[in-house]
Amino acid sequence: MVMVSVKKPLLISISLFTLSLLLAVIWFTPSNPFSESLLSSTSLMSEIRGEKTNIWSVRRIVEWRPCKWWLNGDLSALPAESSGYIRVDCYGGLNQMRRDFCDGVGIARLLNATLVLPKFEVAAYWNELSGFADVFDVDCFIRQMNGFVNVVKELPAEIASKEPFHMDCSKHKGQFDYVESVLPSLLEHRYISITPAMSQRRDRYPLNAKAALCLACYYTICLTRALAKKGSELLQAIPKPFLSLHLRFEPDMVAYSQCNYSGLSSASMEAIEAAQGDRKPWTGEAACVWRNRGKCPLTPK
């Protein structure tokens, strides 16, 4: 065996050369973190100056692509016969209601159901009676969903006269199988209302249901023209750049957190207690654990 001896200075030189070459490759590669940061900063400054930029032209380590895979024409057509009618009951704020309805679109396609316009449970939260049609463009939604999910504005007379059979799926944790748990009730009652599960595995949906869900999320649910115009006017009136911060400190959210807050007015405390219902604030050791997790503010000493 022949032993090759390499001097230490030469070994250091080779290591430095290799490291320099590696850094050069990383720096000049279009999709690297350094060029990404530079491009992102340039893009941000362009937006502040009012220049239009195309987000898809900015290179990143993981390339971004417009989500239009469902328009390739590879999806199967809707079956001729529907399994029944589904209405989605949406709760919470507008963003949460929109999310639940998009989930409902995917579920309707999964179960081969006809979708009814959703019910917005807003009175308990915002003390007003706006429905889906007051916020979103119904005709646009129905037109865009054509071929993906059947949507109706009104139910047939024989079904409209009765209340839907309600199924609250929101409390189910982990994987929830709609075909196994919801479809039998849909076939039996022909008209059901659902509250979608919070932790469903959408990645396990078949392509048809994924396509309907994605289409609803990104293309079909648009604000009415009046609301879109007002939103655009407000956005133009705000000085740029700006920061929007939502503290979520409202009676129902405070009641839901089950935390104790000091220094509130008597009117605020009454509103919180009215919204609490069966929920009681955390006390004792449970309160300490909750605060240590960052879920509740510290109590002033």
- Annotated domain spans of the chain: 16-50, 80-227, 251-292
Residues 6+ apart with CB under 8 A from 67: 214, 218
Asked if 214 contacts 128 with a C-beta cutoff of 8 angstroms, the reply is no
Name residue, tokens 């646009």. Answer: 140
User: What's the pLDDT score for residue 65?
Assistant: 59
The architecture CATH gives domain 80-227 = 3-Layer(aba) Sandwich (3.40)
Residues 6+ apart with CB under 8 A from 101: 88, 90, 118, 132, 216, 221
pLDDT digits (tens, 9 = 90+) for 92-147: 778 888 888 998 999 999 999 999 999 887 665 566 678 899 999 999 999 989 98
Q: How confident is the model at residue 15 (pLDDT cuts 50, 70, 90)?
A: low
pTM, full prediction:
0.64
- CA dist., res. 288 & res. 295, Å (int): 10
Question: Which SS3 state, helix, strand or coil, does residue 90 take?
Answer: strand
| Residue 194 in this model has a pLDDT that exceeds 50 | yes
Q: Which has more pLDDT, 67 or 39? A: 67
| Residue 73 in this model has a pLDDT that exceeds 80 | no
- CA dist., res. 11 & res. 17, Å (int): 10
* Position 83, amino acid: S
User: What's the pLDDT score for residue 150?
Assistant: 92
User: What's the pLDDT score for residue 48?
Assistant: 38
